[in-house]
Amino acid sequence: MNKYLLKLYITGNTLKSQRAIANLIRICDHELTDQYELKIIDVLEQPELAENEKILVTPTLIKQLPQPIQRIIGDMSNTDKVLLGLDLVPQEEDVDG
């Protein structure tokens, strides 16, 4: 299995940022266990990183590895959308059902 490199761009310690972090960690712990590295980047503290990645909205998740690069925008509360963006199929889902 490929190791996932994820970058979550947030703006400050807001409720929306906290929710995005909590939701993303929950999803990754469930679906990827130890197969991921998550970097949380506050655009207020590191604006140059956000500028380099052309981050216009936060929270934004960038899946850098494995390729292709994907972007997911929002508080990560829509698990299906996040899994789709990570190119994952939920483990508990029945493939033929």
Q: Could you tell me if 59 and 8 are in contact, meaning their C-beta atoms sit under 8 angstroms apart?
A: yes
Global confidence as pTM: 0.88
Domain residue spans in the chain? 4-85
The structure tokens listed for 47 are 């604006």
pLDDT of residue 67: 93
Q: Superfamily for 4-85?
A: Glutaredoxin (3.40.30.10)
pLDDT of residue 74: 95
One digit per residue, the tens of pLDDT, for the chain of length 97 reads 579 999 999 999 999 999 999 999 999 999 998 899 999 999 999 999 999 999 999 999 999 999 999 999 999 999 999 999 998 876 554 444 4
Tokens 């998740």 found at: 61
Q: How far is CA 96 from CA 80, 92, 93, in A?
A: 17, 12, 9
Q: What share of the chain is helix, strand, coil (3-state, %, to 5)?
A: 30, 25, 45
